[in-house]
Amino acid sequence: MNKTKIEWAKNPDGKQGYIWNPITGCLNGCEYCYARKLANGRLRSRYLANTNLPDNILPEHWNEGHPNPFYPRFWPERLKELKPDVIAGKEKGIFVCDMSDLFGIGIPEDWTKQVLNYIKAWPEHRFYLLTKQPQNLIKWSPFPDNCWVGVTATDGIAYREAIHHLYRIEAKSKFISFEPLLQPAGVTDLSIGALDWVIIGAQTKPTIIPKYEWVVEIVTACDKAGIPVFLKNNLNTCEISDYPELLDKQGNMRQEMPSA
């Protein structure tokens, strides 16, 4: 478990939080995935050395005849990183599986269950869960109160699917991460009570900044519904000053957190 540079993954005291990867690898197949690039780069040898694979191996395990380092892998020894001498004391915010998707395609339910059981054992800490497969959340609902459950949406279709499934689950805090925001999301009314938080960000490597009109549309809907908004640093270009809706009272980019 290491400190994270992901801006919104904060400890309850507002300081930067942690990442925890008891599972790595993902079969969601997102073209913009930074984790896959890392797995095929500097982490390649380390990941390929781990043979804790799902029982049912899918064709995606092979990449042009070679093992895929970003195929799902379980790291049971990392579960023990959640132990008193590591995380006891001050409350922490922990982003779970930024190198995977806890509820993703090809992830055995037993792996997910083991991770959630460890999370339940540490109610004083906050755990951020983010998925691109919102249809799989319902089988794990209700979630422990220390879970902030989120869905990634890059466009209007993904947004509508995310809202539909988040509305059906029970979690103390639910959020959508529009990162990367690649198309207009068509967000107009968020008053149905399915959301507690919204994150918006750009695509990186290569950098693609969304149109600020798209961002303003989402922020305006959030403001009407009283939902806090966190704009990631990768949106902060010289043009943002032309959009006062995206700035706080001090003139800084809005980076709000829920009160829970």
Q: How far apart are CA 49 and CA 202, in angstroms?
A: 33
Q: Where are the domains of the chain?
A: 1-127, 132-260
Tokens of 37: 């690039």
Distances from the Cα of 21 to the Cα of 106, 109, 114, 198, angstroms: 16, 16, 13, 23
74-123 tens-digit pLDDT: 999 999 887 766 666 788 999 999 999 999 999 999 999 999 999 999 99
Q: How far apart are CA 150 and CA 172, in angstroms?
A: 11
* pLDDT greater at residue 127 or residue 80: 127
Q: How far apart are CA 152 and CA 123, in angstroms?
A: 25
| Predicted TM-score of the model (pTM) | 0.93
Q: Is the pLDDT of residue 195 over 80?
A: yes
Task: For Cα atoms 47, 207, 31, give the angle at the middle one, nearest 5 degrees.
Answer: 45
What percent of the chain has pLDDT above 90?
74
Alpha carbon 242 to chain centroid distance? 29
| pLDDT value, residue 115 | 97
**8 A C-beta contact, residue 133 and residue 103:** yes
Q: How far apart are CA 199 and CA 218, in angstroms?
A: 10
* pLDDT greater at residue 221 or residue 188: 221
Task: For Cα atoms 151, 184, 235, give the angle at the middle one, nearest 5 degrees.
Answer: 75
Burial label, 204 (beta-carbon count in 10 A; 0-12, 13-18, 19+): middle
> Buried (b) or exposed (e) across 70-95, using 16+ Cβ within 10 A?
bbbbbbeebbebbeeeebeeeebbbb
